[in-house]
A and B are shown apart, each in its own frame.
Chain A
Amino acid sequence: MAKIVAVTACPTGIAHTYMAAESLKVGAQKLGHEIKIETMGSAGVENRLTDDDISQADVVIIAADTNVDTDRFAGKPIYMTSTGLAIKDGAAVINEALSKAKVTVAKEVAKIEEIKAQRSAQRSGVYKHLMTGVSYIIPVVVAGGLCIALSFAFGIHAAEQEGSLAAALMRIGGGAAFALMVPVLAGYIAYSIADRPGLTPGLIGGMLASQIGAGFLGGIIAGFIAGYVALGLKKSIKLPKSLEGLMPVLVLPLISSLITGLLMIYVIGTPVKGIMDWLTFRLNTMSTTNAAILGLALGAMMAVDMGGPVNKVAYAFAVGLLGSNTFEPMAAVMAAGMTPPLGIALSTFIAKNKYTKEEREAGKAALVLGMSFITEGAIPFAAADPLRVIPSIIAGSAVAGALSMSFHCALRAPHGGIFVLPIPNAVENLGFYIIAILAGSIVTALLVSLLKPNKNVNVVNAK
């Protein structure tokens, strides 16, 4: 049996308001639900819903042909319909409302997927191009990183034995997949900018960056140069009609690759290699304190906008470093990206009275999303209560990032959440890594639970 509250209203405020109310009442009786219906008629509001009614309701049905203010139902699932439909079949409206309003894990997960899709559709400019490149290298790096990890399963030096399976795995992962990483990054950045003509100079420029040792920074620069060069050439070169067919297969690839390639070799490659060498050297020889500070910063960045631009910059940084055999920031970033939804999920379990029934159900979805390293899983909670939730998740992620870095945890794959943990050697210092993730989640959970007001307070006072 569900508890339902409803409001009915029509423009003249007479017949249909009451017919809809009665029809909903009959429908609820037939289905065995409890219902209270407020009628907003010409005679004024009758049977007014109290805060108590609303807080206990499973769903709010609004059957109206005029505007009904929904502020007082904030946080409740609301089902809007017309008086006409309610009059025609009250039971059907109630069934529909209950099924639509039901918060399920699958629906919550789908909602997050939608948010992610919307966000990536809204990306624009440089950020969009960079993210396109990153999104194409992630699967390459996952495949490569895990092959390397599997190779280590035979022993840390097993790959040195020529002809062994360990050597083969290392060749697939390190020799091929990781070698492709920077070219693919550059290629798809350029592709995002200039479409097909960008791909060739991008791949070539990226390969050069890789060969020079300019790493992912060099790859990013190569990608942008290649993309804008290809785009510029495509727009500026005008060939006679009869020769137009040569543009995509000869003119554009040759000129754009020459410009990009020569710039990479003579101008950009060497200084960027210097920066990359310095960066990886610093990262690999960092004191524990500095490592912890970097982890703290990366962790906070992961949480601050939950999958937004700041989060993606931290993420792209860590993914890029994988190509330079620097695996620790990746571990910190993934741990910090998992803790926001995990911590909130934990909070919905330990502080039940601070959440509505719907939020507790959404908490289960957050758990699943957190385990899968989908930071966006925290968004519904952050959006509903940003001032309490966002600082809490930043704190938890910063702790997770800092701990992961100070424990020297390393991660060879840029994604996968907890599902990557059981793969042998994917994570170094696995035990401590799990501690880092748990600690971050607990910090978030405790903070959110502490900061959130009791949901039941109002109800108790009202009684």
Chain B
Amino acid sequence: MNIKDLLSEKRILLGLNAGTKEEVWKALAERMHEEGIVEDVQAYLDDVASREKQGTTGVGFGVAIPHAKSDAVRQAGLAMARTTKGIDVGSLDGTLADVFFLIAAPKDADKIYLQTLSKLARLLMYEEFRESLRKAKDSREVIDTIEKMEEKIS
């Protein structure tokens, strides 16, 4: 399974102007809805919020990986946003998040959901990867970065 296959250029928002994490989720969920991944944006966002309540998905290094399995999701997918300013997501290391990956998965897609999450977590441990994400000029470059890194650690 490759993360880049779950992404699409349209689902990558660079320079998103948002003040709260909920605004980021909403922007990303709407894009996923447009591409047929999320069926019901509001129901999905509710599930993301209730997952977030169990514990922050701000994994540190300025990155957050909100995620939810939901009946409102038609097929597994990923969306990414880079915000113009850091947002407080209650990260474990206290950093403000400016890179968000939102994972959507159907209720029964346990495997792909966990694999995506764990692989993203692994990728994010490489400083060069985080830097490339932050420097990327367009969606294509983000996908290329992910692809390259996935090859490197596999």
A interface residues, Cβ below 8 angstroms from B: 12, 14-19, 21-23, 26, 39, 41-43, 84, 87-88, 90
A16, A18, A22, A84 — most chain B CB neighbours (10 Å):
A18
Assuming A22-B122, A43-B114, A43-B115, is B59 touching A16 (CB within 8 A)? yes
Q: Give the complex CA separation of A242 and B55 in angstroms.
A: 69
B111 CB within 8 Å of chain A? yes
**A43 x B111 contact (CB < 8 A):** yes
Considering the complex of A and B, which 9 residue pairs feature the smallest CB-CB distances, nearest first? Answer: A22-B125, A18-B121, A18-B118, A43-B114, A22-B122, A15-B121, A19-B121, A23-B125, A15-B59
How far, in Å, is A16 (CB) from chain B's closest CB? 7
Chain B, Cβ-Cβ closest to A15: B121
Q: A19-B124, A22-B122, A26-B125 are in contact. List 8 more A-B contacts (CB 8 A).
A: A12-B55, A14-B114, A14-B117, A15-B57, A15-B117, A22-B121, A41-B114, A43-B110
**Chain A residues with Cβ under 8 A from B151's Cβ?**
none
**Chain A residues with Cβ under 8 A from B121's Cβ?**
14-19, 22
Q: Give the complex CA separation of A16 and B120 in angstroms.
A: 11
**B114 x A26 contact (CB < 8 A):** no
- Choose from B65, B115, B125 the contact partner of A87 (Cβ within 8 Å): B125
A12, A22, A41 — most chain B CB neighbours (10 Å):
A22
Q: Give the complex CA separation of A200 and B57 in angstroms.
A: 72
**Chain B residues with Cβ under 8 A from A23's Cβ?**
125
**A42 x B114 contact (CB < 8 A):** yes
**Chain A residues with Cβ under 8 A from B114's Cβ?**
14, 41-43
How far, in Å, is A84 (CB) from chain B's closest CB? 6
B93 CB within 8 Å of chain A? yes
How far, in Å, is B59 (CB) from chain A's closest CB? 5
Q: Give the complex CA separation of A374 and B111 in angstroms.
A: 58
**A88 x B124 contact (CB < 8 A):** no
**Chain B residues with Cβ under 8 A from A42's Cβ?**
114
Chain A, Cβ-Cβ closest to B58: A15
Chain B, Cβ-Cβ closest to A86: B125
Identify which of residues 92-142 in chain B touch chain A, using a CB-to-CB cut-off of 8 Å.
92-93, 110-111, 114-115, 117-126
How far, in Å, is B91 (CB) from chain A's closest CB? 11
**B122 x A21 contact (CB < 8 A):** yes
**B59 x A26 contact (CB < 8 A):** no
**A18 x B122 contact (CB < 8 A):** yes
B86 CB within 8 Å of chain A? no
Q: Give the complex CA separation of A88 and B55 in angstroms.
A: 19
B60 CB within 8 Å of chain A? yes
| A–B Cβ pairs within 8 angstroms, 5 of them | A14-B114, A14-B117, A18-B119, A22-B123, A87-B125
How far, in Å, is A20 (CB) from chain B's closest CB? 9
How far, in Å, is A24 (CB) from chain B's closest CB? 9
Q: Give the complex CA separation of A17 and B120 in angstroms.
A: 12
Q: Give the complex CA separation of A296 and B110 in angstroms.
A: 69
Chain A, Cβ-Cβ closest to B93: A88
**Chain B residues with Cβ under 8 A from A21's Cβ?**
122
Q: Give the complex CA separation of A39 and B119 in angstroms.
A: 12
**Chain B residues with Cβ under 8 A from A88's Cβ?**
93
Q: Give the complex CA separation of A23 and B59 in angstroms.
A: 13
**Chain A residues with Cβ under 8 A from B126's Cβ?**
22, 26
Q: Give the complex CA separation of A221 and B28 in angstroms.
A: 88
**B118 x A43 contact (CB < 8 A):** yes
Q: Give the complex CA separation of A345 and B123 in angstroms.
A: 48
How far, in Å, is A266 (CB) from chain B's closest CB? 79
**B59 x A19 contact (CB < 8 A):** yes
**Chain B residues with Cβ under 8 A from A16's Cβ?**
59, 92, 121
Assuming A14-B114, A14-B117, is B92 touching A19 (CB within 8 A)? no
Identify which of residues 11-69 in chain B touch chain A, using a CB-to-CB cut-off of 8 Å.
54-55, 57, 59-60, 65
**Chain B residues with Cβ under 8 A from A43's Cβ?**
110-111, 114-115, 118
Chain B, Cβ-Cβ closest to A83: B92
**Chain A residues with Cβ under 8 A from B54's Cβ?**
12
**Chain B residues with Cβ under 8 A from A26's Cβ?**
125-126
**Chain B residues with Cβ under 8 A from A39's Cβ?**
118
How far, in Å, is B42 (CB) from chain A's closest CB? 25
**Chain A residues with Cβ under 8 A from B55's Cβ?**
12
**Chain A residues with Cβ under 8 A from B60's Cβ?**
19, 87
